[in-house]
Amino acid sequence: MGWLRAAVLGANDGIVSTASLVLGVAAAHASGQNILIAGIAGLVAGSMSMAAGEYVSVHSQADSERAELEREHHELQTDVEGEHKELASIYVGRGLDPALARQVAEQLMAHDALDAHARDELGITEAFRAQPLQAAGASALSFAMGSALPLLVVALTPTAMLLPLVFATSLVFLAALGALAARAGGAKMGVGAMRITFWGALAMAITAGVGMLFGVSG
């Protein structure tokens, strides 16, 4: 469920960022076409920013994992007995009897010593290895999908009604996604929905206020 929570949070970011941008531009009395263009630009820029940030972050994690595996590989070549004892002590700590722990350690190391230490000592498994490109793509896609929701409202709404409708529908989208993220994380859905809705409303209100200020000044 971790991937679902991350995707929902990315979509939340897309809604808040793009809706806030759209409301700010609309409040400055821009035309409907300019509002839509600004929103599309925000979607593209935000998606690329999310992808780049996630790629760098996850790539750093992958580099760290690779360094740990290389260090473990060296230790297995230079101190096999010590690594045997280290792995056995991990199993003892998890509740196995010492004799059984030594036997399990011997059998797992005979099968694949590096894999056994990576999984049980370092907590690195193939299923959860850092994958920078996958993370970057998922982050960009979830942000773009969230951004598309307020943009769809902009495309279908007359300019005169744009401010209230984008604000209201974005809050509905945020509440639904906030509840979904809370459920995925095992938290109370109502609390999750209210939290993201409050901060989303605040961000959109402030941005709209700035747009109005500059619109009046202009």
- pLDDT grade for 218, boundaries at 50, 70 and 90: very low
* 195's tokens: 């939290």
Residue 142 to residue 102: CA distance in whole angstroms: 46
pLDDT of residue 63: 80
Question: In 143-172, which positions are buried (b, 16+ CB within 10 angstroms) versus exposed (e)?
Answer: bbbbbbbbbebbeebeeeebbebbbebbbe
Query: Taking 50 as the threshold, does the pLDDT of residue 1 lie above it?
Result: no
* 122's tokens: 């370092």
Query: Taking 90 as the threshold, does the pLDDT of residue 168 lie above it?
Result: yes
Query: Taking 80 as the threshold, does the pLDDT of residue 38 lie above it?
Result: yes
Interacting residues of 67 by C-beta distance below 8 A, sequence separation 6+:
none
- Ranked by mean pLDDT, the top range of 6-10, 90-94, 181-185 is 90-94
Amino acid at 5: R
Query: Taking 80 as the threshold, does the pLDDT of residue 217 lie above it?
Result: no
CB atoms within 10 A of CB 63: 12
What does pTM read for this prediction? 0.72
- Of 87, 18, 13, 21, the closest CA to residue 54 belongs to 13
